[in-house]
Amino acid sequence: MLRQISDVYNRPGEPLKIWFTDEKLDLYIWLSDDDQILKFQFTYDKPHDEKSLLWKFQNKLSHTAIDDGSRPGKHPSSPISLGEIPIDKNRVFNLLKENEDVIPKRYFSFIEERILNP
């Protein structure tokens, strides 16, 4: 079950970021000064088959596979996108919906609309 991280570092001059996480999912939401969503990123299937769904204001959804940067026997590197992959919208939405009670309704509804009706 997702839980909200209360002490997220927000760089001065950048949009407010809120973060929900658990061992298999992350949801990042960036907000304008008037509490409108500017961008969100939902990552799932952590840690070994991570995928990322990204939406930015006035942009379409981007769905990518992620290389988590792990290197057995070596220092890990930074995670990187491996490029666009097909999306199962219903599966992604169901993963998010399992955590609906944790995500404020106004954010959940916005993200639901972008996933199911891009």
Q: Does the structure show a pLDDT above 90 at 85?
A: yes
Domain that holds residue 27: 3-116
pLDDT of res. 26 = 97
pLDDT tens track for 40-80: 999 999 988 999 999 998 888 999 998 876 666 666 667 76
Number of C-beta neighbours around residue 30 at 10 A: 18
Specify the pTM.
0.89
Sequence-distant (6+) residues with CB within 8 A of 90 are none
Q: Count how many domains the chain has.
A: 1
Number of C-beta neighbours around residue 49 at 10 A: 10
Instruction: Report how far residue 46's alpha carbon sits from residue 15's, in angstroms, rounded to the nearest whole number.
Output: 26
- Return the HEC string of 22-60: CCCCEEEEEECCCCCEEEEEEEECCCCCCEEEEEECCCC
